[in-house]
Amino acid sequence: MVKLPVTEVLGAIDAALTQHQRAILVAPPGAGKTTQVPLHLLQQLADQDPHGSSRILLLEPRRLAVKNTAEFLSQQIAEKPGGRIGYRMRQDNQVGKHTRLEIITEGVLLRLLQTDPSLEGVHTIIFDEFHERSLAADLGLSLCLQSNALFRDADPVNLLIMSATLETDKLAQYLDPVPVIVSEGRQFPISYHYLAATPEPRQRLQVWAQSVAQALADQAGNILVFIPGQADIHRLHQELRHLEGNSLSIYPLYGKLTLAEQRQAISAPQAGQRKVVLATNIAETSLTIDGIGCVIDSGLHKQALFEAGSGLTRLHTRMISAASATQRAGRAGRLQAGHCYRQWSETQQQALAQQSQAAIKNSDLSSLVLQLLACGYSHMDELDWLDTPSAGAWQQAVGLLEQLQAVTPLEHGLALTAHGQRLAASGIEPRLAQVLISGIDLGQLGTTCQLISQLEQPQRQAKADISEALLQPLSQAQQRLATQLQQRAKRLPYSNSKHHKDDHWLATALARAWPDRIGQKQNQQADKVNYKLANGRGVQLLWPSRAAAPDYLVVVNTFAMAQQSRDQISSYLGLSLANIEHAIPHLIEDSAVCQWNKQTDRLDVFQARRLNQLLLQQGQSRQVADQAKTQAVCDYLADTGLAALNWSSPVSQWLARLHLLYSHANAHEQPWPDLSQQWLTEHVEAWLGPYLNGINSAKQLAKLDLLDILQNQLSFAQQQDMKRLVPSRVQVPSGNSHSIDYSQQPPVLAVKLQELFGMQETPKVAYNVNLQVHLLSPAGRPLAISQDLAYFWRNAYQEVKKEMKGRYPKHPWPDDPLSALATAKTKKRLGQGH
């Protein structure tokens, strides 16, 4: 057996698992953690229990890694897979009666936990490449910890978490107490080559092709090129076609290739040949590619990000983390000193995030929720999580599963329905599982499996219209997947419901799987059509045909285009209204609708059929309760800030008087209601609702006696106190009564100066609030403003008299205004006794 660095810490791993039943192993690529640790633990298990049946499970994140690891480890003990070492993954397994080390995918562990939550017969579980933090790995670890706590307290399953990065503080705290064991890597020196500047997106392909050509000229050996996605790989491959020949082969490597195609990419080339492998981040860890001495790293990867607002998961091209950059570069230094051509600048390198974000933070959680419920749990709170799912993402997932009729509510949490159990048993994500189950029940199993294979592994240049795409021949990979799906479908539980063959099965299956993405045509332009989805989002379909686009469709996939506000539809099926009503009657709501029409300024009442945000049909309404009409009018008024009501000057003054009382009342005085504009808007139904019976138009709203309605919010005693404390008018010494303007603070009394002769005290309102007196000239123009009349008479009057007596000689300007007769008349009229 080859001596690798990780062998130095095997004793520490044994001690940690013996004492704590859990351990974290940090070992960089090349240390031998995937190849040496499982074999060591297998030997330890055989020594301790030579005739037992307990086994070790080694989790790998990718199918190719599962098969390759099983074959390599079997070779080390001179066996083939299926002996003491085997593997198990979806639709492919080699496990025998003597197998004690199983290499499995993360999905297999979840299915095992569903059928046997106690993990009977499992001695140790090894989580390899845990730093990738997939949803299945996070859920699997949480479930294993819970299994130990509930079922294996006396004999817990050993848990070994293996990671290629040193950022383990959070994981160690989560698993505490747990030893963290660090192994050195086997790494030869690597020379790094950076670009002067990070290329713009439109320049990337050309820059990458130039770097490959340069590396082929400058370096010996095979080259691994990290490219963000499948389409980018094919485009770059086309750019490099002229380099291929007898001495150079170029291979793609990404997850949707067949296992045979993937193995061809990672195997050693023939003697005298060189190889260039164009790979996604599938080659970052867990796979060994023979003979790599040079890495060209685009620094990019495709990240699936779930957007709660749209309910869509989109692939975004993002910069990798510093940890991923280190992992990728390490591929060049496993066998000899190597080179890494980084397709970004040294400045950009300093700005990279240290770690990638866990999938649980930015993914659609519907599969996770479905699998968790399938394990017998009812809520996420029942598990201890390394990163707890956000409440919003959890609820979004639950909402989808409710639409799929997969879950039913409990007092606290959820349970799977019989249909939900069938979805979970399928082993594929919920929407595709819904398509599969619908196809089975509608008598279209074979064609449905072909459809799912096309949706899971779309061909380049596939037709956007799914009904046309189904007519295209399947690729080998699609045919293989379709066959596997058919085999799996035969093992699914049968439905108790009777189903009949459906001529519109395709529309039914897709509408049931994507009910939130059923779209209704809004408008059709020259070459595109705008649709509104049931979830409220807007999308656009490129439509070069002169024929009318479908009124309804179901959108399976979209993509974003630069400088476009709407997502573009890339995969869809046209629907009729009858298709929708047949497929998802449980989601269609019939109701009488009352809503304000802002164009006609009237209340519209009609019968509506709705699918979430879509109005499918409307017609003559049946009898609608007065309460519903009142609520619709109140909603309109609240939305528009009560602008439709007649806020006359008397109404505004009355509200200002009340507000003065409300704001100046002390604790010992009677409380006054807060009828501020904000309160009235927020509680419109409470104070105005009783007066809206029969109100159907803006004209009728404007005719409401708003003053009387507002006064009725006060008791009779309050109304009398209001008249006394904040009178609308006040009598002055001249005998005349003048209105008070309460819209200003403090309230204003505007009166001619001569009418106030003899008034020493400033008039007060409310709870001792002085009015602001505007003393006017005989012509009604302001001469002075005062809140202290006694002070004005003593200190300011004589100056006003001096200036105004000559201008208004016909009016009295006595030397002693406090003893003079108050009047609004001229001196002549006073003398005449008028």
Look at 455-469, 508-522, 641-655 and tell me which has the smallest mean pLDDT: 455-469
Lowest mean pLDDT among 73-77, 224-228, 267-271: 267-271
* 515: in domain: no
* The pLDDT of residue 185 is above 80: no
Domain boundary at 361, 395, 418, which? Answer: 361
pLDDT tens sequence across 405-457: 999 999 889 999 999 999 999 989 999 999 999 999 999 999 999 999 998 88
Give a yes or no: residue 19 inside a domain.
yes
Q: Is residue 609 part of a domain?
A: no
Can you give the CATH number for the domain in which 166 is found? 3.40.50.300
- Reported in sequence order, the residue ranges of 456-577 that DSSP labels E, i.e. its strands, are 518-524, 528-533, 538-542, 552-559, 567-575
Cβ pair 16, 166 in contact under 8 A:
no
Furthest-apart CA pair in the chain: how many Å?
136
* Average pLDDT of the segment spanning 61-86: 93
- The answer on 126 and 242 residing in a single domain is no
Residue indicated by tokens 């929708």: 580
Domain shared by 133 and 60, yes or no: yes
* Residue 378 binned pLDDT confidence (cut-offs 50, 70, 90): very high
Number of domains in the chain: 4
Q: How far is 147 from 145, CA to CA, in rounded Å? A: 5
Answer whether residue 779 is part of any domain: yes
**pLDDT at site 31:** 86
Whole-number pLDDT of residue 272? 83
Is the pLDDT at 325 greater than 50? The verdict is yes
Query: Confidence class of residue 500 from pLDDT cuts 50, 70 and 90?
Result: low
Residue 57 belongs to domain spanning: 5-182
Which of the two residues, 353 and 285, has the higher pLDDT score? 353
Domain boundary residue, one of 725, 750, 781: 725
Strands 413-416 and 407-410 turn out to be antiparallel
* Among candidate residues 157, 182, 207, the one where a domain is terminated: 182
Any domain includes 587: no
CA distances from 629 to 275, 597, 615, 834 (A): 74, 13, 19, 60
Residue 177, preceding peptide bond in cis (omega within 30° of 0): yes
- What is the predicted pLDDT for the residue at 195? 96
Rg of the chain over Cα atoms, rounded to whole angstroms, equals 40
CA dihedral 252, 255, 256, 262 (to 10 degrees): 50
Q: Looking at the structure, do residues 123 and 215 belong to the same domain, yes or no?
A: no
**For the residues 664-684, what does the mean pLDDT come to?**
86
Is 60 exceeded by the pLDDT of residue 172?
yes
Exposure class string for 713-741: b at 16+ Cβ within 10 A, else e: ebeeebeebbeebbeeebebbbeeebebb
Query: Of all residues in the chain, what percent carry a pLDDT higher than 90?
Result: 71
Span of 370-384, 435-449, 551-565 with lowest mean pLDDT? 551-565
Confidence of residue 1 (pLDDT cuts 50, 70, 90): very low
What pLDDT is recorded for position 304? 80
Average pLDDT of the chain to the nearest whole number: 91
Residues 742-794 have pLDDT tens digits of 999 999 999 999 999 999 999 999 988 999 999 999 999 999 999 999 999 99
Which residue type is seen at 245?
A: G
Cα separation, 467 vs 480, whole angstroms:
21
Extract the tokens encoding 630.
């009142």
Q: How confident is the model at residue 281 (pLDDT cuts 50, 70, 90)?
A: confident
- In the structure encoding, which two tokens stand for residue 511, read together? 């509408």
Quick: pLDDT tens for 237-259. 999 999 998 899 999 998 878 77
